């Protein structure tokens, strides 16, 4: 079989998998009756608009789009899987909001979730490392503070992944994550998309979001090495303001790594692939079926030669 590369990527969702092509995405979720429900929609967002079609900027757009659209897709998958919030009895305040805002309540919840995630993420992975690193400013040179912050940031990230991987619900999502990677690997190997062919494929992939986040942290260490200040508040502001730029660089690195098989790329990709052993798990056949259904859903509208 001849190997090929694809731009199709995806994400694990609640009881299913989403696969995304250039213009549309397909989500396959198993409902409470055990049936696979497939939904297809156009992939909107900032991508390919204005400056966001150029290198670095397209990475910034992809980062924002993945947060907003990814949250929408995740919430929708929970509804299909029978875990939607609307099935629960609403509190008086929630009922008042629903009566006042109507269908807009879903969009408000999504954007609030994204905002809250950003605030918590910034606090955990930027404010906290800078605060801890500031304790060392009297014993290390200014340029060393960025390295210390980076090591603390990576340590928090690894601890966070290890802790959530112990949760039963997250473990199941990680299995779907593995199914997503295996299905893409099977397609790129040129084999027919069947459970039997997907099952033995690798669950590690160079274009994974886990690798992207690790690249963000490693590249931030390099960038912050050159952005030096021993003023705590100024250092914190520069760290936060440079996040979109670092995300853009990381996106370009991931794109490049996904298209190359050079020895250097294998070395660069190795830490992210190793980390994916924590964020993916071996899926069962039913989970692989969902991933295949999502992939075929995209290929029906965007066939690849």
Beta carbons within 10 angstroms of residue 32's beta carbon: 10
Q: Extract the tokens encoding 288.
A: 């692989």
pTM (2 d.p.): 0.86
Main-chain phi, psi angles of 27, to 5 degrees: -115, 130
Q: What pLDDT, in 10s, does the model give residues 157-178?
A: 999 999 998 898 899 999 999 9
Q: How far apart are CA 255 and CA 266, in angstroms?
A: 14
Report the pLDDT value the prediction gives residue 96, as an integer from 0 to 100: 59
Report the pLDDT value the prediction gives residue 25, as an integer from 0 to 100: 94
Highest averaged pLDDT of the listed ranges 20-24, 117-121, 159-163, 195-199: 195-199
* Whether the Cβ atoms of residue 239 and residue 130 lie closer than 8 Å to each other: yes
- When pLDDT is averaged across residues 256-260 and rounded to a whole number, the result is 82
The three-state DSSP-derived secondary structure of 215-261 is HHHHHHHHHHHHCCCCCHHHHHHHHHHCHHHHHHHHHHHHHHHHHCC
Of 264 and 201, more confident: 201
Measured CA distances, 140 to 133, 148, 232 (Å): 10, 9, 14
Highest averaged pLDDT of the listed ranges 54-58, 105-109, 110-114: 54-58
- When pLDDT is averaged across residues 221-229 and rounded to a whole number, the result is 88
Residue 86 scores a pLDDT above 70: no
Q: How far apart are CA 192 and CA 10, in angstroms?
A: 19
Q: What pLDDT, in 10s, does the model give residues 3-20?
A: 677 889 999 999 999 999
* Whether the Cβ atoms of residue 44 and residue 106 lie closer than 8 Å to each other: no
- When pLDDT is averaged across residues 60-81 and rounded to a whole number, the result is 88
Q: At what angle do helices 243-259 and 263-279 cross, to 10 degrees?
A: 110
Residue 255 scores a pLDDT above 90: no
């Amino acid at each position: 079989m001849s190997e090929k590369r694809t731009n199709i990527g995806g994400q694990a969702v609640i009881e299913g998998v989403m696969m995304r092509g250039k213009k549309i995405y397909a989500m396959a979720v198993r409902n409470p009756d055990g049936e696979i429900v497939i939904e297809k929609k156009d992939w909107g967002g900032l991508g390919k608009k204005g400056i966001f079609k150029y290198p670095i900027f397209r990475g910034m757009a992809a980062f924002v789009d993945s947060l907003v659209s990814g949250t929408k897709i995740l919430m929708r998958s929970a509804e299909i899987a029978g875990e939607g919030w609307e099935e629960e009895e609403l509190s008086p305040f929630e009922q008042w909001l629903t009566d006042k805002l109507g269908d807009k309540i879903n969009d408000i919840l999504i954007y609030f979730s994204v905002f809250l995630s950003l605030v918590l993420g910034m606090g955990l992975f930027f404010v906290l490392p800078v605060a801890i690193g500031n304790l060392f400013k009297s014993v290390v040179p200014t340029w060393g503070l960025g390295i210390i912050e980076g090591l603390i940031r990576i340590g928090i990230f690894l601890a966070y992944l290890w802790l959530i991987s112990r949760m039963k619900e997250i473990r199941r999502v990680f299995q779907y994550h593995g199914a997503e990677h295996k299905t893409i690997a099977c397609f790129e190997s040129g084999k027919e998309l069947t459970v039997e062919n997907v099952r033995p494929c690798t669950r590690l992939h160079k274009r994974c979001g886990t690798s992207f986040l690790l690249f963000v942290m490693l590249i931030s260490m390099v960038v912050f090495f050159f952005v030096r200040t021993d003023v705590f508040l100024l250092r914190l502001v520069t760290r936060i303001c440079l996040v979109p730029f670092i995300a853009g660089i990381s996106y370009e690195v991931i794109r490049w790594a996904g298209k190359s098989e050079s020895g250097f790329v294998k070395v660069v990709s190795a830490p992210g692939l190793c980390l994916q052993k924590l964020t993916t798990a071996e899926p069962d056949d039913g989970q692989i079926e969902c991933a295949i259904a999502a992939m075929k859903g995209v290929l029906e509208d965007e066939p690849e030669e």
